[in-house]
Amino acid sequence: MMHSAAPMMSGEEVTAFVLEVFPQSVEHGWKVERLDADGIAVSMAIGEQHLRPGGTVSGPAMFALADVTAYLLVLSNVGREALAVTTNVSINFLNKPAGDLIAHGRLIKLGKRLAVCEIHIHNVTGEAMVAQASVTYSIPPRV
């Protein structure tokens, strides 16, 4: 993984910052479980609002988890940069998800303008991967 010049933010610091600038994101029920030089783990408590007919977790809920995981990972590496935005997401839905989810993210590339992340989503019980995403974020130019 490539590192930025900015010191890495802790899980608590990046969570506090995101809740400060993007408080509505808490509605998704995510929580940073681990954040270190190897990547990030973000859990998501699944409620009725995340389910589609048949009781499976909806695609939009898994997309939100992949995107917030990438956002937290990018911010933890570039610092307090609220205007980092998603520029591309490719997500593969692999297996039927059930119950709470956990996303494991790692930074593939961190450049001056773009960050590329790989996200793997599993049921918290550790069963087979339910989704895999590649997420690219645009990082605003430093002033």
First CA to last CA distance, the chain: 25
Which amino acid is it at 113?
Answer: R
- Which pLDDT does position 23 carry in this prediction? 81
What CATH number was assigned to the domain covering residues 11-138? 3.10.129.10
- Which pLDDT does position 24 carry in this prediction? 79
CB atoms within 10 A of CB 128: 10
Q: Please tell me what DSSP assigns to residue 100.
A: -
- Which pLDDT does position 4 carry in this prediction? 42
- Which pLDDT does position 64 carry in this prediction? 94
CB atoms within 10 A of CB 132: 15
Per-residue pLDDT of the chain (143 residues; tens, 9 = 90+): 444 445 589 999 999 998 888 887 777 789 999 999 999 999 999 998 999 988 899 999 999 999 999 999 999 999 888 889 999 999 999 999 988 999 999 999 999 999 999 999 999 987 789 999 999 999 998 76
Are the C-beta atoms of residues 117 and 108 closer than 8 Å to each other? yes
- Which pLDDT does position 131 carry in this prediction? 98
